[in-house]
Chains A and B, each alone.
Chain A
Amino acid sequence: MAEPPLGGLSLPREIALFGIYMPTLTLLFLLCLAVGWAIDRLMAWSGFYQHVWHPILLRVSLFTCFYGTLALYIYR
């Protein structure tokens, strides 16, 4: 049993999916894409993007922050 960091739940670095080992990061990437898409839709709907200089840059940065946080959570 690996001891969980911060006393919370820890994710394994690899996940077996239908008998194939996949890095958890890959799954997280897909998850982040889905969440990022949802946030994007929400911001577009609320009109937030009208105050944004470079929407694509904002999207990419948000995604990077989000994914980076989750990746750090696994690998620390």
Chain B
Amino acid sequence: MTSLSAAPLAPFQRALREWAQSEGVIWIFIFKSLLSIFIALWLAYRLELPQPGTVLVTVFIVMQRQNGEVLAKSFYRIIGTLLGLTVMVALIALFNQERVLFLLCLAIWVGLCTAGAARYRDFRGYACVLAGYTAVMIGLPASLHPEAAFMQALWRVVEITVGILCTGLVSGLILPQTSSATLRSTSCNRFRDFARFARAGLAGRLEPSEVELNHARFAAQAVSLENLRNASAFEDPRIRVRSGRFARMNNEFMVLSTRYHAFYQLLQRLQSSAAGREVFEVLQPCLADISSVLAPLSERLLMDQDAAAQAERLAACKHALMPQIREGRQQLSIKAIGEELMLDYNTAAELLFRFVDDLHNYCLTQASLVQHQHEREQWKFSFTPRANGMAAAVAGIRCAVLVLGLSAFWIATAWPSGPTFVLTVGLVSALTSISSNPGRLAGQLLGGATLSGLIGFFLYFWVYPLLDGFPLLYCSIAPVLALGTFWVARPQTAGYGVGLLVWFCILSLPNNLTLYDPARFLNNFLAAILSIGIAALASTFILPPSQPWLWRRLEQDLRMRVVFAVSGKLRGMIAGFESGTRDLLNQGYALAAGRPDVQKRLMRWMFSVLEIGHAVIELRQEQARLPKEPWYAEDTPWQQSIRLLGRALVRLFIQPDAENQQRALSAVEHAIAAVRETPEPRPPQFDSSPLRRMLSYLHFIRSSLLDPHSPLVDGRAAIGRPVLAS
């Protein structure tokens, strides 16, 4: 390549590459979808499956841009289908003469599945969605012809399997867009962004809004990386053997960001007073050191091969940090500052040291990814998603009531399209139960379905009669499918796309023996539209999730994390605490979209919970590691005072008001005094004296309780007033 000829081409090439990375991916997705539809539909007609529409609906529901997700979804789809099938066959066998009882049980089952979907929200939730959705799909048509129910159920399973196989093969074999690549790039980018963010914070160049924005993003990424990791394990065996390390890295990152946040808060608190600034000045050389270690991490992406070298740099920095901290302490003791400030310094130094240690751990884990097998893979603790049981129950009950109500209408009117009517409402409830704004999604589905009916009517009665053979049929429906896929590929219009595609396939796809009956078509179309409309109205008006009642509950759930930190089982607690708290925040953030005040409040609660909860967990871990010596015994005053502190914190976070805040504060002060008065025959350094470390955790809890920006302080001003309802 000569530079002369390349020069005028360069901008063009760059534009082409940019296009390939943004729009190109969408076009590849559309192409792959159309190809899988082509194969699936051809097979459906060739094998003379009774409902080719089901095959295509499966293709659309499973089709995702990244093949890891396709495989994961397919896997759970099969599980969900088999589960739904089993339940339906059992129900049909039990109630084949009794439609009312059958519909009642069906409503309960669909409600349970929807609640499960709202509870899990990951791929397991997806299996729940499909268990419910397959149940209505098999059960309703079969309830009219119980004698053919078993064969019909088997046909549905065959159709779904054909759809899944076609989609999985096309998505995995042709122009694969791997989730593992996304997993790697997301985690590298996240770490670089974090390094940038941490450096800016250490240099004091961060606005409070920026801090919140970044932490919200890190929380969202922690949740999405967990999903990506699960999906990638399906797709790439190389990721699968590293799966434990990826989970561990995610957890280490969460610990890292919590630690950094704690340290940052402490620095902010120090800088707000003149005496504190003096301590801050003494810490300055350490901060400069850390900042220089972070510099290369923040400038380019950390690749697995370079991670070992960075880990060594961090280890060296850790060793250099020790004497620096001691020197700073000496400087301060020469100045004879108060006991309080000395504690501040010690706590900050301890946090700083732990922060570098966490960074070091993270880099070690990333470096271990180079190897195929590694001891760091032994990571037992998992990401524990937390959801609000109430929200899940509401979604389930809403869905069950809808199915019941519509079934009653069907029985009362003997409408020939009744099955479509009930089926659609079950389908829509299942599809929207994962969304954070089901009302809006159902509205989009309604728009898409309406359009699909109009186009479908035209195609069905004016175009299909003229066609002869599969290629022509495919050519006539391909534009509609391409439009739908194009919408699905963009998050803003995904609902319209799904509505268009799914109801086009249900209503307007010719069966092997096509029946040209306009009255039947219109009846079904009307049933679908009415049913989606009712589902949209119900999810907008019957306790929709994006409303204050759920924000308040999530806020309460966030606070209960501290209770979990105080009283939960210690083993695997850090992983459960960090991931669950972030998952809750992430849900709250999505549900409160468009309400920055609520988001800010949730964020502040998360900070407070993370700061105090994390310190409590470290305190408990420290207690669990104590050697058997008389001054650490269970009945010593300091141990008792820490137990008291735990109880006071539980009370405070269950009901944050002035009285409980005061009680917690005095408990922590009492504990600090008790720890301080305990004679401990060890050198008073962090690495040798457990009590010294405990003191710094206690001090940190105290400073966090006293923080003027903490929501606990608001609680003091507004006792019993539901602030969120404003």
Q: Which residues of B contact A49 (CB under 8 A)?
A: 237-238
Q: Is A45 an interface residue (CB 8 A)?
A: yes
Contact A43–B169 (Cβ < 8 Å): no
Contact A44–B241 (Cβ < 8 Å): yes
Q: Is A57 an interface residue (CB 8 A)?
A: yes
Q: How far is the CB of B369 from chain A (nearest CB, A)?
A: 12
In Å, the complex CA distance between A50 and B236 comes to 10
In Å, the complex CA distance between A75 and B235 comes to 33
Q: If the complex has contacts A50-B372, A56-B67, are A43 and B237 also in contact, measured as CB distance less than 8 A?
A: yes
Q: Which of B214-247 contact A (CB under 8 A)?
A: 235-238, 240-241
Q: Is A47 an interface residue (CB 8 A)?
A: yes
Q: How far is the CB of A33 from chain B (nearest CB, A)?
A: 11
In Å, the complex CA distance between A40 and B176 comes to 19
In Å, the complex CA distance between A38 and B169 comes to 20
How many residues of B sit at the interface, in one of the four size bands? 10 to 19
In Å, the complex CA distance between A57 and B172 comes to 8
Contact A56–B238 (Cβ < 8 Å): no
Q: Is B173 an interface residue (CB 8 A)?
A: yes
In Å, the complex CA distance between A5 and B629 comes to 79
Instruction: Name A60's contact: one of B172, B241, B372 (CB within 8 Å).
Output: B172
Q: Is A55 an interface residue (CB 8 A)?
A: yes
Q: Which residues of B contact A44 (CB under 8 A)?
A: 237-238, 240-241
Q: How far is the CB of B184 from chain A (nearest CB, A)?
A: 15
Q: How far is the CB of A34 from chain B (nearest CB, A)?
A: 14
In Å, the complex CA distance between A40 and B237 comes to 8
Tally A residues with Cβ within 8 Å of B: 12
Q: How far is the CB of A62 from chain B (nearest CB, A)?
A: 13
In Å, the complex CA distance between A70 and B162 comes to 21
Report A52-65 CB contacts with B as 1/0, cut-off 8 Å.
Answer: 00111100100000
In Å, the complex CA distance between A47 and B173 comes to 21
Contact B373–A60 (Cβ < 8 Å): no
Instruction: Name B236's contact: one of A47, A55, A60 (CB within 8 Å).
Output: A55
Q: How far is the CB of A54 from chain B (nearest CB, A)?
A: 8
Q: Which residues of A contact B372 (CB under 8 A)?
A: 47, 50
Contact B240–A56 (Cβ < 8 Å): no
Q: Which residues of B contact A57 (CB under 8 A)?
A: 172-173
Closest to B238 in A: A49
Q: Which residues of B contact A43 (CB under 8 A)?
A: 237
Q: Which residues of A contact B241 (CB under 8 A)?
A: 44-45, 47
Q: If the complex has contacts A47-B373, A50-B372, are A60 and B173 also in contact, measured as CB distance less than 8 A?
A: yes
In Å, the complex CA distance between A55 and B178 comes to 11
Contact B176–A56 (Cβ < 8 Å): yes
Closest to B171 in A: A56
Report B145-186 CB contacts with A as 1/0, cut-off 8 Å.
Answer: 000000000000000000000000100110010000000000
Q: Which residues of A contact B176 (CB under 8 A)?
A: 54, 56
Closest to A45 in B: B241
In Å, the complex CA distance between A44 and B235 comes to 12
| Supplied contacts A45-B241, A55-B236, 6 more A-B pairs, CB within 8 Å | A44-B237, A44-B240, A50-B372, A56-B173, A56-B235, A60-B169
Where the two chains meet, the residues of B that have a C-beta atom closer than 8 Å to any C-beta of A are 67, 169, 172-173, 176, 235-238, 240-241, 372-373
Could you list 15 A-B pairs, sorted by A, with CB under 8 Å? Answer: A43-B237, A44-B237, A44-B240, A44-B241, A45-B241, A47-B372, A49-B237, A50-B238, A54-B173, A56-B172, A56-B173, A56-B176, A56-B235, A57-B173, A60-B169
